[in-house]
Amino acid sequence: MLWVPRNGAREKHVERVAGVVHDPRASHFWDEHGAFIEPYAEMLSLTGPCAGIFMLFEPGVRWEAVSPPPPDYYEDAHAVEFDREGPQFDADRFARIAEGMLAG
């Protein structure tokens, strides 16, 4: 779970809402310097103030370069709202894609 400094967000906001994702398998990070959000904003053409990007990476994908790797699949919770390129987030569809990846 990568909390990013978009839409006026600051670190204090992370403390307030991180409990929304309480699955013990989840790790939480705060992208204080934009090391993730800025490259992905350019890579995925994230117009508008919000993030809301859900990305899946296949086994074998590694982050070796300065910029993080492009996702193998992603959906955007604000695709329609900000007329972005990616598919609008659909929980059921995203779950099916993830299950397909996990099944190999």
Partner 1 sequence: MARKLELGSAFGGAAAAATSMAASLCCVGPLALTLLGVNGMILAAGIKPYRGYLLGASLVLLGLAFWVTYRRRRGVREGDACQLPSGRVAKGRVTRIILWASAALWIGALILNLVSDRLYASVGAVPDDMVTPDYVSLDVRGEPLKSAFNADADKVRLLMLVAPT
Task: List residues binding partner 1 (CB under 8 A).
Answer: 1-9, 11, 13-22, 26-33, 35-37, 40, 49-64, 68, 71, 77-78, 89, 98, 101-102
Can you tell me the distance from the alpha carbon of 93 to that of 85, in angstroms, rounded to the nearest whole number?
A: 17
Retrieve residue 41's tokens.
Answer: 């904003």
DSSP state of 33: T
Nearer to partner 1 (CB atom), residue 13 or residue 87: 13
Q: Could you tell me the two tokens for 82?
A: 């900000």
CA-to-CA distance for 32 and 4, rounded, in angstroms? Answer: 7
**Least Å from the CB of residue 44 to partner 1:** 9
